[in-house]
Structure 1
Amino acid sequence: MLHKKDDVRDELLDEVFASGDLSVSLPKYRMPQKEHLAAHAYQVVTDELMLDGNSRQNLATFCQTWLEPEIRAIMADTLDKNMIDKDEYPQTAEIEARCVHILADLWNSPDAENTLGTSTTGSSEAAMLGGMALLWNWRARQRAAGKPTDKPNMICGPVQVCWHKFARYWDVELREIPMEGDRFIMNAEEVIKRVDENTIGVVPTLGVTFTGQYEPVHEVSDALDKLQEEKGLDIPIHVDGASGGFIAPFTLPELVWDFRLPRVKSINTSGHKFGLAPLGVGWVVWRDAAELPEDLIFNVNYLGGNMPTFALNFSRPGGQIVAQYYNFMRLGREGYRKVHQSCHDTSMFLAEEIAKLGHFDIINNGGAESGIPAVSWKLKDGVDHPFTLFDLADRLRTRGWQVPAYTMPADRQDLPVQRILVRQGFGRDEASLLMADYRAAIEHFDKHPIVNSMTEEEAGSFHH
C-alpha cells in the first residue's frame, strides 16, 4: 500500500505531458475505461480546441465573440441556474420578465408593462414561437368563419434557414419572394402578389442574412392596410429582428418598423448577436397579451410551483438572461447607440477601402440607413479577375480571417457575394489589419492567377 501511495504521489507531481495519462492517445469515440486526473483531461480537451478558428477573426458570424470581464463573471456565477425553474430561482425569473418589458418598451409596444414575451435559446426558437402564434391565430379566424384550415401559407423575403424549418415542421407553405436583378429583399408589390385568405402572416427581416439590408416593414404594412380596405383581408406581420431589432432603435430611431405599426403583432430578436449577450439567448415579444394564443401556454407544477411556459425548450441556462439584463443596466440606450454606431463607422470604413481595391462593387456599405453593420460586395462585371471570391476567402483563411463567400438564393444563384459582419470587439485597428491582408491576397493572385478556381463547396463557405 505504501508503494502504491508513492506511485500516486509521483503521478501527481509529474509534468503534464510526461504523465502516464498523456503517454498514449486517449480514445476519441468511446469512453475511456479508467478515470484520469482533472488537469490531464483538461489539457487534452483544451489542446484540441487550438484547432478551432479564432472567434474574434470570424467575420461570418452574427454572434457576439467579445465579452466584458463582468459578463464572464456573471456566467460563472449562474452556471447552476435553470431558467425554467421559476419557483427555485424567482429572482432570475423576475430578471427575465424585466428584459421582456424593456424590449417591449424599446419596440414601442402600446402596453409594454403588461404584454407577453419570453427568452429563448436564440432567435431561431423565438422566430418559431412567433410563427406558431401566427398559425394558431389564423386557424382560430378560419374556424370562426367556417373556412378550412388545411392550407396555410406565409410570405417572406430571402430568409435564414429557421423559417424554412418552421414551414416544414408545421406544414406551412413558405412563399419566399425570390431576388430579382439588383433587388435582394422583399418589397410591398411582391408581397401583395402572394397573399390570400390562407396567409397566416408576412415576415419582413430587419437585417437580411445575405446582404444585411433592412426590409421595408412600413411600406409592407401600408400595402396590407390598403389590401384590407379593398378586399377585407387582415394579414398580420411578424418582424424577424434577429439582428436589426437590437440596432435600429439606437442608430436609426426614426425608422418605423416596430409596434408603432398596429399590423406588427410580434417581434423576435437575438440577444447573443447585437444584443451583446453571450451565446444562448433570444427573445420574442408580442404586441399585447391577446396576440399569444392561450393554447400555446403550458402550466407545470412538478418543479415545486405552478409555472406557465411557452418556449420550445424546457431546461435552459439562466446566465445568458442575467448577462442580457446586465448589458441593459450597464449600457443603457446611450451605450448601445455608441457601440452600434462605432460598428457602423467601421463598416463604412471597410466599404470604402474594399471599393478602392478596384475589383469589387459594394452592395451594402453597412451604414445605419442601409441596414445592420454588415458590408457586402460582389466582383465587378466586365473585368478580368485573377481569382474568385471563394479563392479570396480561402486565401484569407491562411491569416486566420473567416470572410464568407457564398451564392445568393433564388433567383440570383448566379451571383457570388462576400460579406463582413462588424460586431463589438472588431474595431478600426483590426479592420486595418484585415485590409492589409486583403491587399496582400490580391497581390498574390496578381502574381499567381488561379487557373482552376474553387467552388463554393470546395471553399467550405457559410453565411450563418
Structure 2
Amino acid sequence: MNAFEREPDEVLAELAALREADAPTHGGRVLSYVYDSGLAELDELAARAARLVQPVNGLDPTTFTSVAAMEAGVVGFARRVFHGEAAGEAGPGAPAPGAEVVGSVTSGGTESCLLAVKTARDVWREANHGDERMPRLVAPTTVHAAFHKAAHYFGLELELVPVSADTGAPDVADVVARLDDDVALVVMSAPSYPFATLDPIGEVASATAERGIALHVDACIGGFALAFRDGLPDWDFRVPGVTSLSADLHKYGYAPKGVSVLLQRGRDRQRRQYFATTAWPGYPVVNPTMAGSKPAGPLAAAWAIVQVLGEPGFAELTARATTATATLREAIDGIEGLEVVGDPVGPLLAVRSDASVPSERRVDPHHWADAARGAGWHLQLQPGMFQSDGTVLPHTTHLTVTPVTDHVVGELVPALAAAADAVRGVPAIDGGALVGGLIDRLPGGATALAASSGPDSDTAAALLSAFGLLGGKGAGGALPERMAPVLALVEALPGPLTERLLVELLARVVEPR
C-alpha cells in the first residue's frame, strides 16, 4: 500500500527548483552568510556524518552516548585552539587559578551569546543578593546584535560604547569609565562583524579582572580563523580576565548550520548556564542549552570535520582565506573612491567611500555593492549609524572572505573594479529626501509616519507597499533588485519604525500563499 500523497522524487525535484532561486552557496560569489572551504570532500563528509545520526535526539547524551562523545571532542578541540587547557587565573571574584575551561555545543552564535549573557546575569544576581537594580551589559556599538537580543530577553540594560569611525575600536578608557558594581558583563569582539576589528581585549580584561567583572569574547564569526593566525595580540583564554568565549563552527569551522561552541572558565560558572527541573511528573529535564530536543546532525558534521582536518587543516584553510583577504584589500586600496575601514584582522573587511578624493571621484559603497550584484557577486550592505557621543559611523559594504575566495579572486577583483567604475561619482542616496518624497503616498501622510513606531500588520504592510518593498510574486519578488535605497530608508526612518517594518516584511515573505 502506498500511503504517499506525492512521489518522493517529485517533491525533491520541486525542492531543487526552489533552490535554484537561492543565492549560490558554493563557488565564492556570495561574500556573506556562507563559509565555503572550497573542498567538496568536506561537504560530503559533513552530509554522511549527519545522515548517520539523523534519528538521534541530542536531548539525552546518556541514552545517545555518541552525542556525549562528539560534544566532548568538539569542545576539547575548541578549548585547545583557544588556549583553554592552560588557562590561569581570571582575576578577583572570578574562578580560582587554574580553573578548568569547559563548554557546550550550541545551535549557533546567537544561542552561545544568549547563554553567555544569561550565565553572567545569574552569577551577578547571586553575588548581589537582594540588589534590585537592572544589571548592565557594556559593549562597543559594533557588538553583534545577538547581545541586543540577549539584553532584551534576560532583562539587562545594554550600554553601548562608541567606537572610532576610523578604526572601528572602542577607547579603553571609555569602556573602563563605565565599569561599576552593577555591570554583569563586558563583551569584546574578536573580531567585530561590521569592521573586522580586534577589540582591545587585553587592556579591557585587566580592568574587568581587577573589579571582578566578567568579560566575554565574542569570536563567533572569526574565532576559528584567528586561532590559526600569528602576530595578533592575545585575545582568547591566554588573557587572564577572559571569563567566556563563543565561536561558531558553522562559519570558519566549515560545518553546516547550526553549530557553535560556548566556553566558560570554571565548572561552577558554567553550571549556572544549565536549566534543570524535576517539578513535573515526566522525566527529569536537564538542558545545558536553550533547546530541549535537538538534532545531532550539525554536531556530527562538525565533529567529523574537526577529526579530518585537525589543526594543520584548519591552519591551511585559514592561510588561503588570509591570502585572499590580503589580495582583496590591496585591490580595494587601488580603487579610487573606496577605502577599507580601519585595520581589519580578517578574514573579513568593510569598505566605505573615500572622503579624501573629490566627490565626483568617490564611490558610494552601497551603489558599488548593487553594481557588483548585477555582475553576479553578492556583497553585504551595512547602514551608517549615529553613536551616543554624536559621532557617525559611515555606511559601508561588508565582505566575508573564505578559502574558496582564493580560487575566484582573479575574477572577483576585476569585477569589483568594474562595479566601482560604473557608479563612480554617483552620490549616495539621501534617505531623508527619499522619505520626504514618499510621505504623500503614505496612508495619512506625515502624521501616519510620525505615529507609526508601532503600526498594526495591515498598516505596516501598507507602508512597505508605499516604499516599494512589498507586493512582488513569491518570496524573492517581495524584495527589490537594488538594496541601496532600502538601506537609505533604514538610515532615515526612526529605528523603532524601521524594526517594525522589517518584522512585517520578513513575516509576510514566509506567510502561506
TM-score calculated relative to the size of structure 1: 0.81
Name the structure 2 match of 1:390. 366
How far does residue 140 in structure 1 lie from its aligned partner after superposition? 0.9
How far does residue 133 in structure 1 lie from its aligned partner after superposition? 0.9
Higher relative CO (Cα under 8 Å, sequence separation at least 6) belongs to: 1
Amino acid at match of 1:309: N
Amino acid at match of 2:316: K
In structure 2, relative to structure 1, the CA distance for the partners of 1:294 and 1:215 (3 Å cut) is closer
Name the structure 2 match of 1:185. 169
Q: Is residue 178–residue 410 contact of structure 1 (8 Å, CA) maintained in 2? A: no
RMSD: 3.0
Q: Is residue 109–residue 288 contact of structure 1 (8 Å, CA) maintained in 2? A: no
How far does residue 293 in structure 1 lie from its aligned partner after superposition? 4.4
Amino acid at match of 2:115: L
How far does residue 322 in structure 1 lie from its aligned partner after superposition? 1.6
Could you tell me which of 19, 26, 41 is aligned with 1:49? 19
Matches within 5 A, 1:172-211: 172-211=156-195
Tell me the distance in 2 between the aligned counterparts of 1:307 and 1:424: 41
Paired residue secondary structure (1:70): helix
How far does residue 414 in structure 1 lie from its aligned partner after superposition? 5.4
Paired residue secondary structure (1:116): strand
Q: Which moved more, 1:128-137 or 1:329-338?
A: 329-338
Amino acid at match of 1:390: H
Amino acid at match of 2:173: E
Q: Is residue 30–residue 378 contact of structure 2 (8 Å, CA) maintained in 1? A: yes
Tell me the distance in 1 between the aligned counterparts of 2:236 and 2:281: 36
**Number of equivalenced pairs:** 414
Could you tell me which of 31, 36, 39 is aligned with 1:59? 31
Name the structure 1 match of 2:113. 127
Name the structure 2 match of 1:4. none
Name the structure 2 match of 1:153. 136
Could you tell me which of 423, 438, 443 is aligned with 2:402? 423
- Larger of the two Rg values belongs to structure: 1
Could you tell me which of 271, 287, 290 is aligned with 1:309? 287
How far does residue 110 in structure 1 lie from its aligned partner after superposition? 5.0
Q: Is residue 138–residue 159 contact of structure 2 (8 Å, CA) maintained in 1? A: yes
Q: Deviations over 1:129-150 (max 9, x none)?
A: 111111111111111xxx5133
How far does residue 198 in structure 1 lie from its aligned partner after superposition? 0.2
* Structure 2, unpaired ranges of 5+: 88-98, 432-482, 491-513
* Structure 1, unpaired ranges of 5+: 1-7, 9-33
Q: Is residue 85–residue 303 contact of structure 1 (8 Å, CA) maintained in 2? A: no
Tell me the distance in 1 between the aligned counterparts of 2:429 and 2:273: 54
How far does residue 244 in structure 1 lie from its aligned partner after superposition? 3.1
Give structure 1 regions of 4+ aligned residues with deviation exceeding 4 angstroms: 62-67, 110-115, 299-307, 449-457, 459-462
Q: Which moved more, 1:278-287 or 1:91-100?
A: 91-100
How far does residue 106 in structure 1 lie from its aligned partner after superposition? 2.3
In structure 2, relative to structure 1, the CA distance for the partners of 1:452 and 1:312 (3 Å cut) is closer
Could you tell me which of 263, 267, 284 is aligned with 1:289? 267
Amino acid at match of 2:51: A
Amino acid at match of 1:261: V
Amino acid at match of 1:106: V
Name the structure 1 match of 2:303. 325
In structure 2, relative to structure 1, the CA distance for the partners of 1:295 and 1:254 (3 Å cut) is closer
Tell me the distance in 2 between the aligned counterparts of 1:321 and 1:118: 11
Tell me the distance in 1 between the aligned counterparts of 2:57 and 2:231: 35
How far does residue 171 in structure 1 lie from its aligned partner after superposition? 1.4
In structure 2, relative to structure 1, the CA distance for the partners of 1:401 and 1:413 (3 Å cut) is farther
- Once the two structures are aligned, what percentage of the paired residues are identical? 19
Tell me the distance in 2 between the aligned counterparts of 1:86 and 1:349: 45
Q: Is residue 393–residue 459 contact of structure 1 (8 Å, CA) maintained in 2? A: no
Q: Is residue 350–residue 375 contact of structure 1 (8 Å, CA) maintained in 2? A: no
- The yes-or-no answer on 1:77 pairing with 2:77 is no
